[in-house]
């Protein structure tokens, strides 16, 4: 796939992992041979260089034109916007009486992302300057994120800050090296400690908020252990936010379906954003567990389009949250999380997503989400060419960027690389963070709920 130069993005940023396109070599004596180190695609948090080029080529056509107008006309996309958070060393998300600087935090997180997107789409340097000023204001002043809901503040707002920083850093915005370093330090020093242990005591949207920002910071700071920790949690996390603990069955019921529809859409939207970041880096989390994420979106979309769905009484992983019936609270209040998922399954993967597509069309053009919950603007950012099919990733004997280490029933010795091991065959992979110097049995039993797969292999990320 050829990358075209556009918007000041480098022309050598292919969607596939460029440094990993060498022929995958078999292992010797059960260990992966020395290979080129894994590298990240940049920009690679929600939007790649080819994504931006595709969007720019359609700005005068529908539905992109309407989506662009919604983004451009949003108050937080104004070229006259000024950073609000330079005076806030401490952000507190809690009950209103205790909250501190959350309005500024939400506005600036949204504005940083929207200004960065406006910059790469319009080439107007005012937007780049605004995004840089916002990022610098926070990296120069933020000391802590606190309060009962601190993981939500760090996870939801943090994701937009990182997405903005990734676009600005990997463009011709002339962001100084010192300021880039300050942003990295802020994400590691202030944001990561708040999300680093996820939120196993809470509803699943908390976990997935932490997960998506952890993965994004991993990309931004070129930190494979951090990225892989989030990836592992998506598949294997023991609490409510991991994929199969949030979308609890194959019919698509979610852990929060009995709570309300706002939090349910936030939760599946977060998981989709994890999948989109991972997609840019060569991992197809959309397909995990037999397209379980799609099952969740179809169930939630169908119910919020006022169809009846089957609800099974459930209790969450903590034992605190029990639901006997599906909730009609906020039913029909669709949130802008559907376009990205519909376009992925319909146009990248050629998988039907009828209710997700109907929800996207009903909401079109998507705008901004409340607070800083999800990225939004999916009509503009994720509409695909109707005739364009994207090649699925990792359909060979091992995923791209991995080297085989064991066949089914054997032992994989993780001698080098990043410590991430894939189990499966022909594009159906289950990932687990094993660690360098460790061993793992190459079997479905060792990879949690991974289905037994004929001809399965294990492979190590190089």
pLDDT at 24: 31
Q: Name beta bridge partners: 146.
A: 92
pLDDT at 449: 62
CA 15/CA 446 separation, integer angstroms = 31
- Tell me if the pTM is above 0.85: yes
- Coil, strand or helix: which one is 146? strand
| Beta carbons of 208 and 215 less than 8 angstroms apart | no
Whether omega for the bond prior to residue 63 falls within 30 degrees of 0, making it cis, is: yes
- Coil, strand or helix: which one is 298? helix
pLDDT at 4: 30
- Coil, strand or helix: which one is 334? coil
- Radius of gyration of the chain from its Cα atoms, rounded to whole angstroms: 21
* Rounded-to-5 percentages of helix, strand, coil across the chain: 45, 10, 45
pLDDT at 86: 84
Q: Name beta bridge partners: 412.
A: 440
Note down pLDDT in tens along the chain; length 462 residues. Answer: 223 333 444 333 333 333 333 323 233 333 332 334 578 999 999 999 999 999 999 999 999 999 999 999 999 999 999 999 889 999 999 999 999 999 999 999 999 999 999 999 999 999 999 999 999 999 999 999 999 999 999 999 999 999 999 999 999 999 999 999 999 999 999 999 999 999 999 999 999 999 999 999 999 999 999 999 999 999 999 999 999 999 999 999 999 999 999 999 999 999 999 999 999 998 999 999 999 999 999 999 999 999 999 999 999 999 999 999 999 999 999 999 999 999 999 998 889 999 999 999 999 999 999 999 999 999 999 998 754 443 445 556 788 788 999 999 999 999 988 899 988 887 778 889 998 999 999 988 888 666 667 788 999 988
| Beta carbons of 268 and 297 less than 8 angstroms apart | yes
DSSP codes joined into one string, 67-130? HHHHHHHSGGG-TT-----TT-SEEE-SSTTT-BSHHHHHHHHHHHHHHHHHHHHH--HHHHHH
pLDDT at 201: 98
pLDDT at 160: 98
CA 71/CA 419 separation, integer angstroms = 40
DSSP codes joined into one string, 5-35? PBTTB-TT--SS-GGG-SPPPPPBTTBPPP-
pLDDT at 402: 87
Instruction: Using alpha carbons, select from 344, 261, 345 the residue that is nearest to residue 302.
Output: 261
Sign of CA dihedral 315, 319, 98, 216: negative
pLDDT at 321: 98
């Amino acid at each position: 796939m050829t990358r075209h130069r556009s918007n000041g993005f480098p022309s050598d940023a292919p969607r596939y992992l460029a440094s990993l396109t060498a022929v995958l070599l078999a292992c010797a004596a059960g260990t992966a041979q020395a290979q080129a180190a894994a590298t990240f695609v940049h920009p690679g948090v929600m939007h790649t260089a080819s994504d931006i080029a595709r969007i720019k080529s359609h700005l005068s056509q529908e539905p992109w034109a309407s989506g662009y107008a919604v983004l451009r006309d949003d108050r937080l996309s104004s070229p006259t916007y000024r950073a609000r958070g330079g005076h806030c060393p401490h952000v507190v998300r809690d009950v209103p009486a205790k909250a501190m600087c959350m309005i500024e935090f939400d506005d600036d997180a949204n504005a940083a992302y929207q200004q960065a997107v406006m910059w790469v789409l319009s080439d107007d340097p005012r937007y780049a300057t605004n995004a840089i000023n916002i990022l610098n204001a926070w990296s120069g002043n933020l000391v802590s994120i606190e309060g009962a809901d601190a993981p939500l503040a760090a996870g939801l707002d943090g994701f937009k800050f990182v997405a903005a920083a990734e676009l600005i850093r990997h463009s011709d915005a002339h962001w100084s090296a010192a300021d880039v370093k300050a942003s990295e330090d802020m994400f590691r020093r202030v944001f990561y400690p708040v999300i680093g242990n996820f939120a196993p005591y809470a509803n699943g949207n908390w976990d997935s908020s932490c997960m998506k920002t952890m993965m994004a910071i991993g990309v931004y700071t070129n930190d494979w252990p951090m990225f892989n920790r989030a990836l592992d949690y998506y598949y294997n996390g023991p609490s409510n936010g991991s994929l199969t603990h949030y979308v609890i069955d194959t019919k698509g019921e979610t852990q929060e379906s009995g709570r309300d529809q706002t939090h349910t859409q936030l939760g599946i939207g977060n998981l989709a954003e994890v999948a989109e970041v991972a997609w840019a880096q060569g991992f197809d989390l959309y397909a995990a567990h037999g397209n379980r994420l799609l099952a969740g979106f179809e169930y939630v979309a169908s119910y919020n389009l006022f169809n009846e769905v089957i609800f099974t009484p459930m209790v969450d992983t903590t034992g605190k949250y029990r639901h006997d019936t599906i909730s009609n609270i906020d039913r029909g209040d669709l949130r802008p999380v559907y376009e990205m998922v519909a376009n992925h399954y319909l146009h990248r993967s050629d998988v039907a997503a009828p209710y997700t597509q109907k929800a996207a069309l009903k909401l079109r053009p998507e705008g901004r989400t409340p607070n800083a919950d999800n990225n939004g603007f999916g009509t503009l950012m994720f509409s695909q060419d109707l005739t364009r099919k994207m090649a699925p990733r990792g359909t060979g004997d091992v995923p791209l960027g991995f080297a085989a280490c064991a066949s089914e029933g054997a032992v994989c010795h993780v001698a080098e690389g990043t410590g991430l091991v894939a189990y499966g065959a022909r594009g159906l992979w289950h990932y687990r963070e094993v660690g360098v110097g460790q061993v793992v049995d190459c079997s479905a039993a060792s990879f949690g709920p991974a289905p037994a797969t004929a001809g399965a292999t294990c492979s190590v990320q190089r």
